[in-house]
Amino acid sequence: MDQLTLIATVVTAIGSGIVGGMMFAFSVSVMTALGRQPAPQGIATMQAINVVIVNPVFLLLLLGTLVASVVLAVGAVVTGEPWLLVGALLYAVGMVGVTSVVNVPLNNALDRVDPDSAEGAQLWARYLARWTTWNHIRSVACFAAATVLTLTLL
């Protein structure tokens, strides 16, 4: 394994583990707690989370790991190392792809509703179930990526 591939593997593995841990915490605690709140409070809190999560630290972690996974995927294709490609794709598709295609659009829809409206309450019930299900998938993808990539380093 060349030096760039090694660095990309380590960065992707560590980043996947950290991001996966964040997603796991949301799945098993944050979303459960929000779901126990009256809809207006749960919506308002999630709307606030959607604002504060877009910060330099989170974006560096999320997108830095994506850049490392892309570098790793290219290196894996060039060198013919399928497990490195699997690990890179698990993060890129399972985390960033799902986030972009499912979770961000759900967040955007939630951000557009009035927490105190009937529309908001209806959306909230669907949002909680769908967002959390896809968040479980993101968590598993991240942990799988971290696991696969760590095993390639042994």
d(C-alpha 71, C-alpha 88), whole Å: 9
> What global pTM score does this model have?
0.95
**Residue listed under structure tokens 């939630």:** 110
Binned at pLDDT 50, 70 and 90, residue 1 comes out as confident
Q: Which two tokens stand for residue 135?
A: 């968040």
Domain ranges for the chain: 3-152
d(C-alpha 43, C-alpha 117), whole Å: 10
Count how many residues are written for the chain. Answer: 154
Q: What is the pLDDT of residues 77-126, one digit of tens each?
A: 999 999 999 999 999 999 999 999 999 999 999 999 999 999 999 999 99
Contact predicate 16/142, CB 8 Å: yes
Binned at pLDDT 50, 70 and 90, residue 14 comes out as very high
Q: What is the pLDDT of residues 33-42, one digit of tens each?
A: 999 999 999 9
Q: What is the dihedral of CA 97, 101, 104, 105, to 10 degrees?
A: 180
Q: What is the DSSP letter of 36?
A: T
